[in-house]
A = this chain, B = another copy of it.
Amino acid sequence: MPRAVREQQMLDAAVRTFARRGYRNASMDDIAEQAGVSKPLVYLYLHSKDELFAACIRREAASLVAAIRAAVEHDAPADRRLWSGLHGFFAHTAEHPDGWVLLHVQARTHGGPFALEVVAMRAEIVEFVTQALTAAARENARCGSARGTGRITGGEASGLAYALVGAAESLAEWAGDPAGGGPSAEEAAATLMNFAWTGLGSLMRGERWSSGEHTPA
């Protein structure tokens, strides 16, 4: 059996095991057994538990980012771009729940280089969302259909993006919950769009919540 295949098998097993049991609780014995190979072979190919973990993180992060990029409909209007990206995100995390848990939960437990890669990936996504929101605001202002100023500040865009990504992660967790009852990828994306798109519209009309107004505008 060629090396590259074996290596992917090992990574598959490692992702599963790390995701389900956490870094420290996942033993190299477990992983090797899952992969159907002997422990020394894992070391021969992947050198150490740390490097194995890092390889898992890298593979899953790259896979997720690639899935999102592939899902985005580049020539569509801004809202459609945002929706397609979100849909790609939810579809991918639903199909690879272990990978998502690895990135979202386990990688943060580990200080140092591992968490940094996840932070970088997350930053990339936040950046993508921020740009999508800003682009939407610009497009909207240009076609003149909004009644307000069409302006949102950079800080507001960042805050919105953070909140949106967090909300997406939360929904992904709900969606990935094996207990069932969670939404499908389409539903999750639509929920977020309902949530975010109208919120963005309100902001662009200059509406802000303040503790003085007690009814939703």
Interface residues of A (CB under 8 A from B): 20-25, 77-80, 83, 105-106, 108-111, 136, 139-140, 143, 145-146, 156, 159-160, 162-171, 173-174, 183, 187-188, 190-204, 207-209, 211, 213-217
Q: In the complex, what residues of B have CB within 8 A of residue A173's CB? A: 166
Report whether over half of chain A's contact residues are helix, strand or loop; otherwise say mixed: helix
Q: In the complex, what residues of B have CB within 8 A of residue A145's CB? A: 215
Complex Cα gap A20–B216 (Å) = 40
Complex contact A216–B167 (CB within 8 A)? no
Complex contact A171–B159 (CB within 8 A)? yes
Complex Cα gap A170–B187 (Å) = 21
Q: Which residue, of A110, A163, A200, has the highest number of chain B Cβ atoms within 10 A?
A: A163
- A198's contact among B110, B193, B216, by CB below 8 Å, is which? B216
